Structure 1
Amino acid sequence: RRNAGEPRGAARYDEARKAMRAGRPADAELGLRAIVKSNPELGGPHANLGLLLRQAGRLPEAVAELEAAVHANPQQAVYFNQLGIAYRQQGEFAKAREAYERAIDLDATYASPLLNLGILHDLYLGEGSRALALYDRYLALSPGGDAQVAKWVADLKNRKPPPVTVSRKEQP
């Protein structure tokens, strides 16, 4: 009954994913919830439910489902990338960084977590030099290029460091 290859279970999963693509989130959510209830050990339904919930702005629920997905399948880089996005949207930047780094560790050729980690370092952590290195790695994996990210790289390279303000006098 818990076999992932079960035809009825696979058909339910396909129907839920079709509902997601067709813009019927309520139907998709019902289907995915039924699947995760009957097959909690499967990562895919948890991940898709997490994505659906994140898109609906239901971040705590989305994080819980994405955490269940990475627990069910800790070798799936895509799940860690999606979890990183949810963490970042919740303002949990350290957890987002860890999730993106785990995705990159699992698949060094997966460009999305490189870009997402670069954005995190650039906009949220204020670490431009780290962001620049990540953007460069992302662009190296993007054969068609990415004009927007190329602009970000140029901006970072031209950005002046903030002026240093002295709040204390040094002792001679």
Structure 2
Amino acid sequence: MRAGRPADAELGLRAIVKSNPELGGPHANLGLLLRQAGRLPEAVAELEAAVHANPQQAVYFNQLGIAYRQQGEFAKAREAYERAIDLDATYASPLLNLGILHDLYLGEGSRALALYDRYLALSPGGDAQVAKWVADLKNRKPPPVTVSRKEQP
């Protein structure tokens, strides 16, 4: 993959997956390769195989969450990120990804803020971009409340 020959990498990974379907790593790597190529349904299938083969690997669940989000499957993305966090509460990436999901896709700013804060607490050098997002969330005004009235006959 790093050599810049994705077709060769895909062939090699498919051979490993075929001969060792019980290994999560080759499925995960193939899933990443396919996701980067924009082949999301195939990527999801491989990442699902990776988490099935190794259900204790937080990294696989985080990557699966990214693929689900890219497909617009937000509930599944949330579940995958939450599973990654449950498996490793010190793994910062799924906290950030879940925060982004809540912030940009689910419209749940307060939940996003809590997740961003947890992410920043785990980021030794900080993250200037996320710190800006936190400031933005804290300064956002709540959406206006609309009251619906019944029409008069």
Please state which band the TM-score falls in when normalised by the shorter chain. over 0.9
Q: Distance in 2 between matches of 1:140 and 1:66?
A: 28
Deviation beyond 4 Å, 4+ runs, structure 1: 169-172
Q: Which has the higher contact order (CA 8 A, sep 6+)?
A: 2
Q: Distance in 2 between matches of 1:37 and 1:51?
A: 17
- Stretches of structure 1 lacking an aligned partner (at least 5 in a row): 1-19
Secondary structure, counterpart of 1:170 in structure 2: coil
Q: Distance in 1 between matches of 2:94 and 2:100?
A: 10
Q: Distance in 1 between matches of 2:77 and 2:148?
A: 33
TM-score (norm 1): 0.86
Secondary structure, counterpart of 1:160 in structure 2: coil
The match for 1:102 is 83
Q: Distance in 2 between matches of 1:135 and 1:116?
A: 9
CA apart distance, 1:162: 1.1
Aligned partner of 2:102 among 121, 136, 148:
121
CA, structure 1 residues 149+170, in 2 after alignment: closer, same or farther (shift >3 Å)?
Answer: farther
Q: Distance in 2 between matches of 1:34 and 1:43?
A: 14
Secondary structure, counterpart of 2:144 in structure 1: coil
CA apart distance, 1:49: 0.1
Cα shift readout 1:74-99 (whole Å, capped 9, x = no counterpart)? 00000000000000000000000000
CA, structure 1 residues 104+170, in 2 after alignment: closer, same or farther (shift >3 Å)?
Answer: farther
Secondary structure, counterpart of 1:164 in structure 2: coil
CA apart distance, 1:33: 0.3
Task: Give the number of the structure whose alpha-carbon radius of gyration is greater.
Answer: 1
- Stretches of structure 2 lacking an aligned partner (at least 5 in a row): none
TM-score (norm 2): 0.97
Cα shift readout 1:149-172 (whole Å, capped 9, x = no counterpart)? 000000000000111111136999
Cα shift readout 1:65-124 (whole Å, capped 9, x = no counterpart)? 000000000000000000000000000000000000000000000000000000000000
Q: Distance in 2 between matches of 1:53 and 1:111?
A: 24
Secondary structure, counterpart of 1:21 in structure 2: coil
